[in-house]
Amino acid sequence: MAVDKREHIMEHAISLFADKGFEGTSIRDLAQVAGVNVAMVNYYFGSKEKLVEAILEKKSSYMKDRIEELEANTNLSELDKIDALIEDYVNRILNGASFHKFLYKELMDTKRDVIHTFLNNSFARNTRNFSAIIQKGIDKKVFREVDPILTVTSIIGSISQVVVSKSMCNQLLLKPEGNEPYADEAFKQRLITHIKSMIHAHLLVK
Amino acid sequence: MAVDKREHIMEHAISLFADKGFEGTSIRDLAQVAGVNVAMVNYYFGSKEKLVEAILEKKSSYMKDRIEELEANTNLSELDKIDALIEDYVNRILNGASFHKFLYKELMDTKRDVIHTFLNNSFARNTRNFSAIIQKGIDKKVFREVDPILTVTSIIGSISQVVVSKSMCNQLLLKPEGNEPYADEAFKQRLITHIKSMIHAHLLVK
DNA sequence: AAATATTAAACAAACGTTTGATTAATTCAA
DNA sequence: TTGAATTAATCAAACGTTTGTTTAATATTT
């Protein structure tokens, strides 16, 4: 049961950190929500900060492998690779919306330096690797001479913007408060379609 | 000196809240950085939370007025209005990068309910008003039948993504740590050019 | 002199963490 | 397979700090 309980605590921590922030979530809050004793967090993870590191270690190879795999793939066209990445990003980010929100908060936060640096490097490397695919398409003269880094920034930014606030999202979709937009397959598809359409026009059109 | 000191405290608060978060910034931190006594924050603002409300009240008509003004304007084409808004957003957000980061964190955070609700409504309303301009362009058959809400989401998301982390931004621009990318006029222009180019292709091309 | 601004000190509450006792699970010789 | 020995897990209580805030005295302005 030991491993299960660790993950049980981590899942609740992700959701609380996403909504209330790291400092905004007390270990007593977390313990209560997760249904464990206050001492358990320090027992299993050593400290509140190490809990964050454990969460990142567990969850954070994230898109890295997928991007590098696609970058190396020689069968797919650059446009196919970008389409695949758009789909993957939307699915990964929307399915793990709380985790992504939590990542984002930590990325913005300079307080926990090791974590801040780690996340900055991860995000920057993923963006760079992704943009290398676009650059290859430009070199092959399949794509227009767009700004590869900022194009990737727009893709990630489009998805992240959606995930920043559930209630803003519901307002924009004209859904009632309490709706779960990120779990809605139709919305996921709508977002994928929009981003693909925008990026295709951006990359391909004269 | 009273008003000046109030604003002096607010400016330092914005920058600290942006980097360390609301709960991550103690009043003692703030007082020291701002060079005032700990009691001054409560003396001038009443509480730490009311300090946030004062900051929002001061700074947060933000883009609302500009969007509504442009929406009502009958001289400009829809495309001109969108271009104007892209420029305004980039300039406003990058010039007030700390403030925007702080806004974003509060938008993501559900802990302070009044503020969370207020910001959600503001962001949603701005997005809706902005998208109404796009909708009008679609109705006039000047624009393609794009997704207006998600198109605005992409514009705002593209800019926000840049502002989320200064060190990620510097890494991507191949600038040394410590560089101030948001103050760089050339980068601002590069971002404006990219977004305009992407959105134009998205809106206009068959 | 009255009102406003500033201060150091003190407040209770909440914080992350540790403790020492208790229970549950596992190990392993008989 | 049993039952003592060892380890792991859980708990309530307490620890020392830090937190936001208040106080009461002092300084400055008006």
DSSP string, A58-76: HH-STTHHHHHHHHH-SSS
Cα A75 to chain centroid distance, Å, stands at 27
Please report the sign of the dihedral spanned by the C-alpha atoms of residue B148, residue A154, residue A24, residue A54.
positive
pLDDT digits (tens, 9 = 90+) for B179-198: 999 999 999 999 999 999 99
Q: How far apart are CA A56 and CA A22, in angstroms?
A: 13
Q: Measured from the CB, is B40 under 7 Å from any atom of strand C?
A: yes
Which residues 12-31 on chain A approach chain B with CB closer than 8 angstroms? 18-24
**Quick check: helix, strand or coil at residue B62?**
coil
Q: Which residues in chain A have their CB less than 8 angstroms from residue B161's CB?
A: 153-154, 156-157, 160-161
Residue B100 exposed, middle or buried by CB count within 10 Å (0-12, 13-18, 19+): buried
Using the structure, give the distance in angstroms from the CA atom of B33 to the C1' atom of C9, rounded to a whole number: 21
Q: Output the average pLDDT for chain B.
A: 95
Cα B1 to chain centroid distance, Å, stands at 29
Q: What is the dihedral of CA A96, A97, A98, A104, to 10 degrees?
A: 110
- The residue of chain B nearest to residue A188, with distances taken between CA atoms, is B150
* Number of residues assigned to chain B: 206
Roughly what angle, to the nearest 10 degrees, separates helices B97-108 and B78-95? 100
pLDDT digits (tens, 9 = 90+) for B22-34: 999 999 999 999 9
Q: Output the average pLDDT for chain A.
A: 95
**DSSP symbols for A167-187:** HHHHHHTTPPTT--GGG-HHH
**Closest partner CB to B191 (pick from A24, A150, A195):** A150
Q: Which two tokens stand for residue B26?
A: 């103690």
Using the structure, give the distance in angstroms from the CA atom of B119 to the C1' atom of D22, rounded to a whole number: 31
Q: How far apart are CA B34 and CA B69, in angstroms?
A: 36
pLDDT at A125 over 50: yes
Please report the sign of the dihedral spanned by the C-alpha atoms of residue A20, residue B53, residue A109, residue B9.
negative
pLDDT digits (tens, 9 = 90+) for B85-109: 999 999 999 999 999 999 999 999 9
Which residue shows structure tokens 């001061």?
B58
Residues 6+ apart with CB under 8 A from A64: A122, A125, A126, A129
Q: How far apart are CA B120 and CA B159, in angstroms?
A: 18
Q: How far apart are CA A61 and CA A71, in angstroms?
A: 16
Which residues 98-117 on chain B approach chain A with CB closer than 8 angstroms? 101, 104-105, 107-111, 116-117
Q: How far apart are CA B44 and CA B54, in angstroms?
A: 10
pLDDT digits (tens, 9 = 90+) for B103-148: 999 999 999 999 999 999 999 999 999 999 999 999 999 999 999 9
pLDDT digits (tens, 9 = 90+) for A69-98: 999 999 999 999 999 999 999 999 999 999
Residues 6+ apart with CB under 8 A from A110: A116, B19, B20
Quote helix, strand, coil % in chain A, to nearest 5. Answer: 75, 0, 25
What's the pLDDT band for A1 if we cut at 50, 70, 90?
A: very low
Q: How far apart are CA B106 and CA B114, in angstroms?
A: 11
